[in-house]
Amino acid sequence: MEQIGSHCNQCQRCDLGANRTHAVIGRGNPKAPIMIVGEGPGQTEDETGLPFVGKSGQLLDKILAAVKLTIAEDVFICNVVKCRPPENRTPATDEADACKGYLLEQIRLVDPKIILLTGATAMKTLVGIKQGITKVRGQWVERDGRLYMPIFHPAYLLRNQSREQGSPKWLMWQDIQLVREKLDEIRSS
């Protein structure tokens, strides 16, 4: 991971590198059974060099803790692109493609059993899903001996506060419980 970090901090494969403060590589257990892949770093992440540490990341940590998953032991978090897109816009396809090799190497090194995909860029880059998240969230996709599940991005949950049945927060709770059950199943087999 350190080598990936030094490469990314020098990288000029796309225009995003021109404005970065820090390349954002990842945080969590580098041998975790679960990997969470976001789209790209925001301002707080660019400043700290760590993914999902702003309000979205704090919510993500709470969601994981609710099903007794920890960043220290169970989860590694990273993004498709390692540098912040201007105005926190969605990464362009060429930017995601420029970073894809780094992401694939991270997956190889961590070797997770489960990969959670937050956002369209992660779904499209890793499993080729182009449908909207509401149609595919919570469904397992098996590829190359790994289980992938698209989930709502925590930022979307922050914008949709309702916890009523069928709301994004309620659906996320269902999804994260499925992830916990699947991890327990994998560990016991």
pLDDT for residue 119 is more than 90: no
Name the token pair of 177: 């419980």
- How confident is the model over 38-72, as pLDDT tens digits? 999 999 999 999 999 999 999 999 999 999 999 99
Q: Has residue 105 got a pLDDT over 90?
A: yes
> What is residue 52's DSSP assignment?
S
Looking at residue 158, what is its pLDDT? 96
Write the CATH number for 142: 3.40.470.10
Length of the chain: 189
Q: For the chain, what is the domain count?
A: 1
Cα distances (Å, whole numbers) of residue 113 to 81, 118, 132, 135, 137? 21, 17, 24, 23, 18
Strand 34-38 versus strand 114-118 pairing type:
parallel
DSSP per position, 148-180:
EEEE--HHHHHH----STTSHHHHHHHHHHHHH
Fill in the DSSP letter of residue 90.
Answer: P
Do the bridges between strand 75-79 and strand 146-151 make them parallel or antiparallel, or are there none, so unpaired?
unpaired
Quote the DSSP letter at residue 165: T
pLDDT, tens digit, 9 for 90 and up, residues 127-136: 999 999 999 9
Q: Looking at residue 117, what DSSP letter applies? A: E
Which value, to the nearest 10 degrees, does the dihedral of the CA atoms of residues 68, 74, 79, 84 take?
Answer: 70
- Provide the CA 113 distance to its chain's centre, in angstroms: 14
- Per the structure, the complete domain to which residue 45 belongs is given by 2-188
Tell me the pLDDT tens digit for each residue of 140-160: 999 989 999 999 999 999 999
Residue type (1 letter), 93: T
H helices of 114-166, in order, are 120-127, 133-136, 154-159
Phi (first) and psi of residue 156, to 5 degrees: -65, -40
